[in-house]
Structure 1
Amino acid sequence: MRSSALLKQIAPLVSRTWYRLSSVTAHSELLLHTDPVLPVIDFSSFASKNDTNDYPRDIIEKLANACEHVGFFYAIGHGISNELLQRTLSVTRQLFNLDSKIKNQYASRSFVNSPKVGNLLGGLGRGYQSVGENVTNSLRDRHEGFDLYRELDTNHPARLQFNKKNSSNKNLPDYREMAIGWNPWPKEFPLFKETINEYKSEMLQAGARVMRGIALSLNLPLNHFESTFNDSFWVIRCIRYPSVYPEDMKSPEYGHGCGEHADYGWLTFVNQDLDSRNCLHVRTNDTSKATYVSADPIVVEEQIALTCNIGDILAFITKNKYRSTRHCVVNPVKPARERVSTPFFFEPNIDAKLRINDTTPECYYGEYLINKVRNNFNYDNNQTQ
């Protein structure tokens, strides 16, 4: 869809005051809006899974409009306290402030081929990544990360199918490394695990709440999607984007803090520093001249809003009626401080069967996920900062 056509469609939802900002991107000029412009949706009406058939049509229609024309929105009424959201960001910042020798004990590069290294448990994609290990569009991303995935119980069927007695079974699905992995929680900082687990539990409730609203926005029963995500194989990325000088932003090797991409899963919630400005950029067009709005954090009636966006899977199952919108993260410009965020990816069950696109057959979500993760990192000749 051309930019002019899209802007006409979302005019009731976003402001149209623009200015050019060429210094924030390594490889292209951005048209950037500086105010919070995404639609704000209140999900408090969808807290219960009981279908009373008495839900606010104006909110449902606003959500449908946001998903169809923008693909991003601010979620309030999500049920998560400001204190927990802020505490999660605080422990994430404390994690990255640990000595690099400690962080690298939990480096995800150590667990590429094994769920266990020495006495440490880990798994593919899980753990710490230094600046530049995550790769988007063939360029290194300028951020540190610590990735956490759902840990399946020892007696979970999706884990048990990969035990030794089934090791010769060639018909097993291709997501073994995901199913058997454990998160390498830093033993030097137990508060991190405690807080992230609390955050995870609350985010799962928020995700279910939003998905009820999305089901109704598609004229489906309230709990239509529940059987697909009731054992969600969630993902949390704890991320620190260092602030940089403008002259250092252009690099033949490094791109943005996180290069432009669409999220490949179901639904994403972004919890970000409240002083983060002009960092998360949402693309509004599909033309060669990129046009963006800035999804800065907002507080509505003393409630921190979560920035939420549609992923590729949800876009596909709606036959692209709902948009999986491309976006990127630009590093803060000095003297601004670093940016910390803890995006939560609300995903289907690992053994949920679904179609991803029109050209490939139905597959398990775990198979789809692991193929994505295998292409996310460049551990060779890493240059840390």
Structure 2
Amino acid sequence: MTADESSIPIVDFSRWAKASSEEKKEIAKELTDACISVGFVYIVNHGVSDEMLDEAFGWSQKFFALPEEKKMLAPHPAGPNVHRGYSWPGLEKVSQYIHKDEDGDADAKDEELRKIGDVKESYEIGSDECTNQPNVWIPEEVLPGFRPFMTDFYWQCYGTAQELLRALAIGIGLGDPDFLLKFHDGHNNQLRLLHYPPVEAEKLASDSIARMPAHTDWGSITMLFQDDCGGLQVEHPRKPGVFMNAPTVRNAICMNVGDLLMRWSNDYLKSTLHRVTSPPLSGKTADGKSMTRARYSIPYFVSPNPDALIECLPACTNTQNPVKYGPVVQEDYRRMRAKLQYPEKQNMPGAAKTVSVA
């Protein structure tokens, strides 16, 4: 395997729905092998239609084209506990660093990491039945049709996620294809609309600003849809610190394993570092500075239910491979990883006003 784009496998999921038991085992093995070797895989013919994906990106572009004051009618709540609504550029900070209150310098480390802002904006959507993270919807009169479409799109993505979890269960050798589904009722997932506005390429290259620094995802799996801009990179499976490009495969899911599935599988499946860096340039400004293209992407994060206990699966341990992680509850793990992501106090864009957690 070399550090080029061909290192991320492609799995055709078109046969899955009508496949025999043996055929499903073959497809599941393809999927699982990719998750073992790279932690990332492209999935084509996955069941979310091209038409729906085109419409989803269209709605995303409409939302981010709104004036700032309109987007701020659905602001992300202060603090890291509720991850919903609109996050303006510079609010969220993605990092692999884990803030632990017992560490004496944790707050200082948070402040140091936040000196380099992430230049992106996002809108977070969940199930309307998710009580611990209620949705913050943009008013219907601001963007008519947005909420019903995104609600439908959310559940369409969950339908595909269910089949991927079944395939992974078969590939791991759990016996019951629905084993993982018992921990995933769909209400704790997250649909994220992401927009990376054009920025000066020189500032990205000098690390004075960031897109999205290297990190792993926290949940079970992530299903990512990308536009044709580029910029996503994945750590090479055999060369730590070396990142390879993950180019767009039109309307494919770029799926990756999250931390909790890696813990469940006792490191059998790989949660891989990835980042968003400088995409191709779009031209120069009037004063000659090179600018990046705007980038849109839509990740769908599939997470276990908040009260799910994540502990090593019996099929993934033996005397030669002892249990590597202790049990953890999903909500506890999420809050630990989210501690740095959103500050307890946040400055609203275009104003000196500070919003605090109640």
TM-score range for the pair, normalised by the shorter chain length: 0.7 to 0.9
CA 1:244–1:231 in 2, change beyond 3 Å: closer, same or farther? closer
1:129 aligns with 2:87: yes
Aligned counterpart, 2:252:
305
Cα distance change on mapping 1:36 and 1:240 into 2, 3 Å = farther
Indicate how the Cα distance of structure 1 residues 264 and 44 shifts in structure 2: closer, same or farther if over 3 A, else same: same
Q: 1:183-222: CA deviations, max 9, x gaps? A: 3233301322122112111101110111111111111222
CA separation of 1:65 and 1:43: change in aligned 2, threshold 3 A? same
Match of residue 261, structure 1, among 215, 220, 243: 215
Alignment of 1:169-208 (within 5 A): 178-179=132-133, 181-187=134-140, 188-208=142-162
1:227 paired residue among 182, 185, 191: 182
Task: Deviation per CA, 1:112-164: give whole Å up to 9, x if none.
Answer: 379xxxxxxxx8221111111111232421111111222227xxxxx4xxxxx
Q: 1:126 to 1:56 in 2, by over 3 A?
A: closer
For 1:264 and 1:213, locate their aligned partners in 2 and report how far apart those are by CA, in whole Å: 20
Aligned letter for 1:134? Answer: E
Residue 59 in structure 1 maps to residue 52 in structure 2: no
In 2, Cα distance between equivalents of 1:60 and 1:339 = 32
Q: 1:193 to 1:84 in 2, by over 3 A?
A: same
User: Within 2, Cα distance between the matches of 1:359 and 1:305?
Assistant: 32
Cα shift at 1:333: 4.3
Q: Tell me the distance in 1 between the aligned counterparts of 2:144 and 2:129.
A: 20
- What whole-Å deviation, never above 9, does each CA across 1:53-109 have from its counterpart, x for those lacking one? 33244433322220101000001231111011111011101100000111122111x
Aligned counterpart, 1:375 = 340
CA distance in 2, matches of 1:253, 1:79: 40
Q: 1:252 to 1:56 in 2, by over 3 A?
A: closer
Which residue of structure 1 aligns with residue 11 of structure 2?
A: 41
Q: Distance in 2 between matches of 1:105 and 1:329?
A: 28
Task: Check whether the contact 1:280–1:295 (CA below 8 A) recurs between aligned residues.
Answer: yes
Identity rate of aligned residues, in percent?
23
Over the aligned positions, Cα root-mean-square deviation in angstroms equals 2.7
The answer to whether the Cα contact below 8 Å between 1:91 and 1:191 also exists between their aligned partners in 2 is no
- Alpha-carbon distance in 2 for matches of 1:186, 1:272: 26
Alignment partner, residue 362 of structure 1: 328
Tell me if 1:147 matches 2:124: yes
Note if contact 1:133-1:377 (Cα within 8 Å) is conserved in structure 2: yes
Distance 1:359 1:211, change over 3 A: closer
Q: Specify the SS of the correspondent of 1:141.
A: coil
**Pair 1:280-2:232 in alignment:** yes
How many Å separate the matches in 2 of 1:283 and 1:41? 20
In the alignment, what sits opposite 1:102?
70
Which residue of 2 is the match for residue 82 of structure 1?
50
Corresponding position of 2:300: 344
Q: Which residues of structure 2 form unaligned runs of 5+?
A: 96-112, 283-291, 313-322, 351-358
1:232–1:350: 8 Å Cα contact kept in structure 2?
Answer: no
Matched letter for residue 331 of structure 2:
G
> Within 2, Cα distance between the matches of 1:150 and 1:232?
5
| Residue matched to 2:78 | 112
| Consecutive aligned runs of 4 or more in structure 1 exceeding 6 Å deviation | none
- Quote the Cα distance in structure 2 between the aligned partners of 1:106 and 1:269: 24
Report if the CA contact (8 A) 2:224-2:297 is conserved: yes
Question: Whole-Å Cα distance in 2 between the matches of residues 210 and 361 of structure 1?
Answer: 24
- Cα distance in 1 for partners of 2:167, 2:45 equals 12
1:327 match: 274
> SS of 2:233's equivalent?
strand
| Kept after mapping to 1: 8 A contact 2:126/2:187 | no
Q: Shift in Å at residue 377 of structure 1?
A: 1.7
CA change 1:334–1:149 in 2 (3 A) is: same
Quickly say closer, same or farther: Cα 1:127–1:210, change in 2 above 3 A.
same
Residues 359 and 55 of structure 1: CA distance in aligned 2, closer, same or farther (over 3 Å): closer
- Structure 2 distance, partners of 1:113, 1:190, is 29
1:326 and 1:40 map into 2 onto residues whose CA distance is 19
CA change 1:64–1:113 in 2 (3 A) is closer
**Inter-partner Cα distance in structure 2 for 1:215 and 1:85:** 27
Whole-Å Cα distance in 2 between the matches of residues 286 and 112 of structure 1?
Answer: 39
Amino acid at match of 1:219: G
